[in-house]
Amino acid sequence: MLALTDLSRRYGQTVALDGLSLEVPEGEVVGFVGPNGAGKTTAMRIALGVLEPDGGEVFWRGKPATREAQRSFGYMPEERGLYPKMRVDRQLRYLAVLHGADDAGAKEAARRWTERLGIAERSEQRVEELSLGNQQRVQLAAALVHDPDMLILDEPFSGLDPIGTDVMSGVLHERAEAGAAVIFSSHQLELVERLCDSVAIVNRGRIVAAGRVDALRSERSAPRLRVEVEGAPDGWAEELSGVEVVARDEDGVVIELGEGADDQAILDAARRAGRVRRFQPAQPTLAELFREVVEE
């Protein structure tokens, strides 16, 4: 696995990383989320060897990561890292050769990844001629062209339409199933929740929560119920004792049960308020967990 251990990094008086530790197992997709300026990109660049930490260490497969190992990682930066006037096929073949492929292997890798990512018909176009979404696909192909065992992706879904998102998601899962370690940052928390085996939330340069989303829910949240009552008067749920209304929409409410709250008593109250259409456990979303931990 990739392990970042007690990383620290400053930019002048600004603390970017403050003892950050994180593990990315091979064969898993890890979501790396946090507010703007939380330290995500700095941590990724240190993992790649692009930046040096002020303290801490990067390990790959149980040993300190060497420059040779880091050069083999696949990296997709948030900002475009492509040659805009170079044609797609030539660019991918060039990058494959830089990673040690011969001409035939580079040609085959470029063909395989442009086909898999749905941009084969764009192979002879210059990168600057492509839409932002297709540039993003080329950027992923550039990260994958040497079949890396470690993928580090910074906002890979930015600018993608739903079809592009599905293609990108499928490729990440394929790489993980093939044994690669995959970590990506994103502000699209619903997407992270759907795609990732686990998630790490960073704030102010430190990991403030990490693990499987279900485990984070059980660790951090009180029980919740989704209740929908037809014909209920406004504010009926707020009158209940021992609960807090944490969400409301036109169909119903989500209530969080305090210590000692009786769900059967809540059901009885809902029946008195009107016709109960839904009464079931409700799981907090990753977005709700995110807000909870970063606002502490």
In the chain, which stretches have pLDDT less than 50?
none
pLDDT at 285: 83
Sheet of strand 275-281, all strands in order from the earlier edge strand to the far edge: 243-248, 253-257, 224-230, 275-281
pLDDT at 259: 82
Lookup: tokens for 249: 């929409």
pLDDT at 241: 84
**Phi, psi values for residue 248, rounded to 5°:** -150, 140
- Domain 222-294: top CATH class: alpha beta
Exposure string of 244-279, with b = 16+ CB inside 10 Å and e = fewer, is eeeeeeeebbbbbbeeebeeeebeebbeebeebeeb
Instruction: Name the segment(s) of the chain with CATH classification 3.30.70.
Output: 222-294
Give the model confidence (pLDDT) of 241-263 as tens digits: 888 888 888 889 998 888 888 88
pLDDT at 22: 95
Q: What is the mean pLDDT of the chain?
A: 91
Whole-angstrom distance, CA of residue 65 vs CA of residue 45:
13
Instruction: Name the segment(s) of the chain with CATH classification 3.40.50.300.
Output: 2-73+148-211
Q: Does domain 2-73+148-211 have CATH number 3.40.50.300?
A: yes
pLDDT at 71: 87
Whole-angstrom distance, CA of residue 119 vs CA of residue 252:
45
pLDDT at 220: 67
Q: What DSSP character marks residue 124? A: T
